[in-house]
């Protein structure tokens, strides 16, 4: 039996275009002003194409072309496409960090959809925070929608080396700091590491989010890994347009697709790809918009029983193009069918189980067999302890194994400027066993919880050959980063979390197998330090910054604004 279809008079946009009244006359006449006839838009689903193109979002350079391909698909299916620009979140250029603006874009997406005559949406994003931002706003607005991922850029190249975004920057920067790489070589790396439009092509945050959103059901099957400049990417864009029109007629809203189980599928995928720790914060926030609660325990429980099967940098060897050629997300999930909720529905109109039927792996070295995983446990571990009562995270697959259990003395930096000023001081009292601590780098302290968590290794240790150390902060870390970096400590230091009270020389114990981060300081001493602790003066007297620090939640809660959390529906706008 085919799905029930809406009648044209039931379209949301009918309220703007349908009635025989003064306001609707204005809406119709102004649409005709753009050169359209009634036949172009009357009684047709209006598809809002939310485009995060910008000249300063280099990962989305191809979106000017892609939006035309989406429109082509919408027209083919009998819809009426309208392009609506929303704030892009450029990972490379936005300061203090794109994360500071994730919720602003989410809010803009929700209100852009609400105030316009939109029946359904194609969400065009890809660069890190654009993914959760678009989906958070769209989930709240709850109109039929699907996500068009920007796709990864081509592999980087330097001399005989294949370069991976981010990961190889950190690697060769360390070599340069150690005096082992010439200026000319560094310049050549700069020329060769980003060779096309598209997102970072390692399993960084952008690729991670695309893969988990495909598993969640909001990206067409196989599209998360499609390289940005592949001709199939353009065809996929048109397919998004066609499918969005069908989704409107069938009323396939996010609330009809999203369940706790679909989010558990996304978490399983996150662990199996050895994905970015950032996805934890974003998935908690996205689920929250759907009225679903995810906890750090959900992530750790799934991590403990999910093998890492994607051999991708930074945890593995290959890049996203290789992952796509090996079969992409469907092939990977096909190897994990017993761990997935196959009944979950997707924007394709199929269940996840139907999507995975016939999925094949075409590169056993890229998507490795269950019997020989990269790691028998997922790529992320959640830790608790007296330094992080509300939890923190680490990526065990991307660190030197000797640090999985480690105790060392703290070397504390009050904030990032302090770190920058002192980290390369030749007299810094630091050894390879030191635990480097950065305070005031969390959601409020930084602000925006920047990706500072892969704290730099002191130059004098780099020159001595050290390439990994235990580092602790309330910051996040780029998905392309690696190392024994403990992240997302909650509550953060800026609001008086225990991290604020750590002093030089305190012994800190990291025990990843035991899921523990312990601070060996007596309770009386902690009380004494707490009594003397004072919060910093408020940084923002007005504007978005003030709203941000007043409303932001902690990392374990998803860093959404409290006033944007799921609640009673916001009324539709009156049309007077
Ligand atoms: Fe855009 Fe990495 S900078 S995805």
Listed by start position, the domains of the chain span 43-154+196-356, 165-191, 381-532
pLDDT tens-digit series, residues 507-551 = 999 999 999 999 999 999 999 999 999 999 989 999 999 999 999
User: Closest ligand 1 atom to the C-alpha of 204?
Assistant: 2
Q: Report, as an integer, the average pLDDT of 463-472.
A: 94
Residue 104: is it exposed, middle or buried by C-beta count within 10 angstroms (0-12/13-18/19+)? Answer: middle
| Ligand 1 pocket residue status of 199, Cβ below 6 Å | yes
Residues 173, 469: Cα–Cα separation, whole Å: 16
Its sign, for the CA torsion 357, 363, 366, 368, is positive
- Asked whether 94 lines ligand 1 (CB < 6 A), one says no
The predicted model gives 451-473 an average pLDDT of: 94
CA 474 to chain centre: 17
User: How far apart (Å, rounded) are the C-alpha atoms in residues 573 and 576?
Assistant: 9
Please name the residue that has the structure tokens 């439009």: 197
State the average pLDDT for the chain: 96
pLDDT at 1 over 60: no
Distance CA 346, CA 227 (A): 22
Cα Rg of the chain, angstroms: 24
What average pLDDT score do residues 313-336 get? 96
| Collapsed DSSP state (helix, strand, coil) of residue 466 | coil
Q: What spacing in Å lies between the alpha carbon of 128 and ligand 1's midpoint?
A: 6
* Residues forming beta bridges with residue 121, ordered by sequence position: 48, 145
User: 62, 206, 276: which to mutate for ligand 1, most atoms within 8 A of CB?
Assistant: 206
| Residue 336 per-residue DSSP state | T
Give the three-state DSSP class for 173.
helix
- The rounded distance, in Å, linking the Cα atoms of 419 and 445 is 14
pTM over 0.85: yes
pLDDT of 576 reads: 84
Q: Is the pLDDT of residue 37 over 60?
A: yes
DSSP 249-279: HHT--HHHH--HHHHHHHHHHHHHTT--THH
pLDDT band, very low/low/confident/very high, at 569 (cuts 50, 70, 90): confident
Distance 109 CA to ligand 1 centre (A): 20
Query: Can you tell me which residue has the tokens 């009050």?
Result: 414
Average pLDDT of 17-28?
96
Choose which CATH entry (3.30.470.20, 3.30.70.260, 3.50.30.80, 1.10.3720.10) describes domain 381-532. Answer: 3.50.30.80
Mean pLDDT within 281-288: 98
Atom of ligand 1 nearest to the CA of 166: 2
Atom of ligand 1 nearest to the CA of 58: 1
Is the pLDDT reported for residue 157 higher than 70?
Answer: yes
Calculate the CA 500 to chain-centre distance: 27
Q: What is the pLDDT of residues 123-149, one digit of tens each?
A: 999 999 999 999 999 999 999 999 999
> Ligand 1 centre and the CA of 11: distance in Å?
36
- The verdict on the CB of residue 200 being under 6 Å from ligand 1 is yes
Read off the pLDDT of each residue in 387-405 and give the average, rounded to a whole number. Answer: 94
- Indicate which atom in ligand 1 lies nearest the CA of residue 207: 4
Angle between helices 260-272 and 296-305 (to 10 degrees): 50
Residues contacting 190, CB < 8 A, separation 6+: none
46 lines ligand 1 (CB under 6 A): no
Measure the CA–CA gap between 240 and 144, rounded to whole angstroms.
12
For residues 515 and 304, give the distance between their C-alpha atoms in angstroms, rounded to a whole number: 11
Q: Percentage of residues in the chain with pLDDT exceeding 70?
A: 99
- Judge whether residue 119 has pLDDT over 70: yes
Q: Is pLDDT above 90 for 165?
A: yes
What residues pair up with 508 in beta bridges, in sequence order? 408, 519
Is residue 291 predicted with pLDDT exceeding 90? yes
Given the CA of residue 92, which atom of ligand 1 is nearest to it?
3
Q: What is the mean pLDDT of residues 209-224?
A: 98
Read off the pLDDT of each residue in 177-206 and give the average, rounded to a whole number.
Answer: 94
Going by pLDDT thresholds of 50, 70 and 90, the confidence category of residue 481 is confident
Is residue 219 a contact partner of residue 328, using CB atoms and an 8 Å limit?
no
Asked if 301 and 384 touch (Cβ cutoff 8 Å), the reply is no
Residues facing residue 85 across a β-bridge: 51
Decide whether any atom of ligand 1 lies within 6 Å of the 92 Cβ: yes
Tell me how far the alpha carbon of residue 198 lies from the centroid of ligand 1, in angstroms. 8
| pLDDT recorded at residue 3 | 63
- Taking the C-alpha atoms of residue 543 and residue 524, their distance in angstroms, rounded to an integer, is 40
pLDDT at 256 over 90: yes
Q: Is the pLDDT of residue 504 over 60?
A: yes
CA dihedral 554, 560, 564, 569 (to 10 degrees): -110
- Mean pLDDT calculated for residue range 268-295: 96
Do β-strands 145-149 and 405-413 pair in parallel, antiparallel, or remain unpaired? unpaired
HSE of 430, CA atoms in CB hemisphere, 13 A: 27
Kindly state if the Cβ of 472 falls inside 6 Å of ligand 1. Answer: no
In degrees and rounded to multiples of 5, residue 447 shows phi and psi of -90, 175
Please name every residue paired with 549 in a beta bridge, in sequence order, or none if there are none: none
Please state, in angstroms and rounded to a whole number, the distance separating the CA atoms of residues 217 and 249: 18
The closest of 16, 19, 20, 86 to 46, measured between CA atoms, is 16
* pLDDT tens digit sequence for 85-102: 999 999 999 999 999 999
pLDDT at residue number 398:
84
Ligand 1 pocket test: which of 199, 211, 479 has the largest number of ligand atoms within 8 Å of its C-beta? Answer: 199
CA-to-CA distance for 245 and 119, rounded, in angstroms? 9
Average pLDDT over every residue of 198-217: 97
CA of residue 42 to ligand 1 center, whole Å: 39
Report whether residue 203 contacts ligand 1, using a CB cutoff of 6 Å.
Answer: no
CA of 312 to the centre of ligand 1 (A): 16
């Amino acid at each position: 039996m085919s799905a029930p279809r809406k009648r044209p008079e039931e379209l949301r946009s009918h309220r703007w275009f349908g009635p025989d009244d003064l306001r609707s006359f204005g809406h119709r006449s102004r649409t005709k002003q753009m050169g359209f006839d009634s036949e172009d838009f009357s009684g047709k689903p209006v598809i809002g194409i939310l485009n995060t193109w910008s000249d300063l979002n280099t990962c989305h350079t191809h979106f000017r072309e892609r939006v035309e391909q989406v429109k082509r698909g919408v027209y083919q299916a009998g819809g009426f496409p309208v392009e609506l620009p929303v704030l892009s979140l450029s990972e490379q250029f936005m300061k203090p960090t794109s994360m500071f603006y994730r919720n602003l874009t989410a809010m803009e997406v929700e209100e852009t959809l609400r105030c316009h005559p939109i029946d359904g949406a194609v969400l065009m994003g890809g660069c890190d925070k654009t993914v959760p931002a678009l989906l958070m706003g769209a989930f709240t607005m709850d109109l039929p929608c699907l996500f068009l991922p920007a796709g990864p850029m081509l592999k980087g190249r330097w001399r005989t080396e294949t370069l991976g975004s981010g990961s190889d920057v950190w690697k060769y920067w360390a070599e340069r700091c150690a005096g082992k790489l010439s200026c000319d070589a560094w310049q050549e790396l700069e020329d060769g590491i980003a060779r096309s439009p598209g997102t970072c092509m390692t399993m960084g945050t952008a690729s991670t989010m695309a893969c988990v959103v495909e598993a969640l059901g909001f990206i067409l099957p196989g599209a998360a890994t499609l390289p940005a400049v592949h001709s199939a990417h353009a065809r996929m864009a048109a397919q998004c347009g066609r499918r969005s029109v069908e989704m409107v007629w069938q009323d396939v809203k996010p609330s009809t697709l999203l369940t706790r189980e679909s989010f558990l599928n996304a978490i399983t995928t996150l662990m199996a790809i050895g994905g970015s720790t950032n996805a934890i914060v974003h998935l908690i926030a996205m689920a929250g918009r759907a009225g679903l609660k995810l906890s750090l325990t959900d992530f750790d429980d799934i991590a403990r029983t999910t093998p890492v099967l994607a051999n991708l940098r930074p945890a593995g060897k290959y890049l996203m193009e290789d992952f796509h050629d090996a079969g992409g997300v469907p092939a990977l999930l096909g190897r994990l069918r017993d761990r997935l909720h196959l009944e979950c529905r997707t924007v394709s109109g199929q269940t996840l189980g139907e999507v995975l039927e016939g999925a094949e792996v075409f590169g056993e070295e890229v998507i490795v067999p269950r019997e020989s995983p990269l790691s028998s446990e997922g790529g992320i571990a959640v830790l608790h302890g007296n330094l992080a009562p509300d939890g923190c995270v680490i990526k065990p697959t991307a660190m030197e194994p000797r640090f999985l259990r480690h105790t060392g003395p703290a070397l504390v930096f009050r904030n990032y400027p302090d770190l920058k000023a002192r980290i390369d001081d030749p007299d810094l009292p630091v050894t390879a066993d030191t635990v480097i601590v950065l305070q005031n780098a969390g959601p409020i302290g930084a602000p925006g919880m920047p990706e500072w968590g892969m704290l730099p290794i002191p130059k004098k240790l780099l020159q001595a050959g050290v390439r990994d150390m235990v580092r602790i902060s309330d910051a996040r870390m780029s998905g392309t980063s690696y190392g024994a970096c403990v992240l997302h400590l909650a509550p953060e230091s800026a609001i008086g979390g225990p991290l604020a009270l750590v002093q030089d020389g305190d012994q800190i114990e990291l025990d990843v197998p035991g899921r523990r981060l312990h601070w060996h300081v007596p309770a009386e001493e902690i009380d004494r330090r707490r009594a003397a602790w004072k919060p910093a003066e408020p940084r923002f007297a007005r504007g978005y910054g003030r709203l941000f620090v007043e409303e932001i939640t902690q990392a374990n809660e998803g860093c959404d604004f409290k006033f944007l959390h799921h609640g009673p529906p916001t009324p539709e706008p009156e049309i007077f």
